[in-house]
Amino acid sequence: MQLKKNNLSVCLSPALFPFYNNDDSIIVIVDLLRATSVISTAFEHGIKDIIPVKSLDEAKAYQNIPNHIIAAERNTKIVEGFHFGNSPYHYMETNIIDKTLVLTTTNGTKAIHLAKENIVVTASFININAITEYLKQQDKDVVILCSGWKNRFNLEDTIFAGTLSNFLIDTNLFKSNCDSLLASQNLYMSGKTNLFEFLDTSAYRNRNNSLEVIRDTKFCLNPTFKSNIIPIFKKDRLIPLKVG
């Protein structure tokens, strides 16, 4: 029986990361709409590994390498000249088995790089159960890092952080003294009967009213499949770790 509880906290923006991190924590990156949901989807559909890059130029460098898919999103739109954008459906509807995905997005891929001195995994509603199992087994402090929107707080990552916090606190393996965790749990409880409706007036929904993004949003909040894969960052890329 584990006697010492590990510390769990929620960091609401990449710009606050220095005030929540300690070197030995596992960092769980959340960019629910849509990067970390895309990452879970791509692994579940057979991608071999995912290289998150910070800039469009870095992504373009992979353009002519066989078996590499390059994907880029800026301000919710696919960037010209790239194969894919940031919709999970792109990765369900194409054969991506054993390929490498090179991905750059507005917020999520930057958050991964910010935290990469620590152990970094990515989470979404697709792999939330697997992430919970994985974290139960590690006996380490955990920081759930919300990618936000250009360093601003966002609701969608926060309600996911609240859900995952509930799961982890329920294991009795974690303690917390973190107001952002309490806030995220409270916000999740307020919204959980209909997360899509809860986000109705959110900044994300105000920015994105295309049919495609609405379909993606519904999927990311209530995915049609689950994954037991933990995307974990090693060297320069996310690789799939299977749990259970």
Q: Which residues bind a second copy (CB under 8 A)?
A: 12-13, 15-16, 19-20, 149-155, 158, 177-180, 182-183, 186-187, 190, 201-204, 206
Nearer to a second copy, 150 or 234 (CB): 150
Residue type at position 151: N
**For residues 82 and 70, is the Cβ–Cβ distance under 8 A?**
yes
Q: Which is nearer to a second copy, 131 or 178 (CB)?
A: 178
Closest contact distance (angstroms) between CB of 119 and a second copy is 22
For residue 36, give both structure tokens.
């970390």
Instruction: Find the helix packing angle between 108-115 and 35-44, rounded to 10°.
Output: 90
C-beta of 169 vs 243, nearer to a second copy: 169
Nearer to a second copy, 117 or 179 (CB): 179
Q: How far is the CB of 81 from a second copy (least distance, A)?
A: 29
DSSP letter (8 states) at residue 66: T
CB closer to a second copy out of 73 and 157: 157
Q: How far is the CB of 174 from a second copy (least distance, A)?
A: 14
The answer to whether 233 and 121 have CB atoms below 8 angstroms apart is: yes
Cα distances (angstroms) measured from residue 25 to each of 21, 115, 168: 7, 10, 15
Report the SS3 class of residue 192.
Answer: coil
160 contacts 222 by C-beta, under 8 angstroms: no
Q: Which of 134, 150, 73, 152 is nearest to 105 (CA)?
A: 73
Q: Which of 11, 26, 19, 16 lies closest to 139, judged by CA?
A: 26
Residue number, 51 or 146, with CB nearest to a second copy: 146
Least distance (Å) between residue 23 CB and a second copy: 18
How near is the Cβ of 210 to a second copy at its closest, in Å?
18
Query: How far, in Å, CA of 92 to CA of 240, rounded?
Result: 17
Residue 70 C-beta: closest distance to a second copy, Å: 29
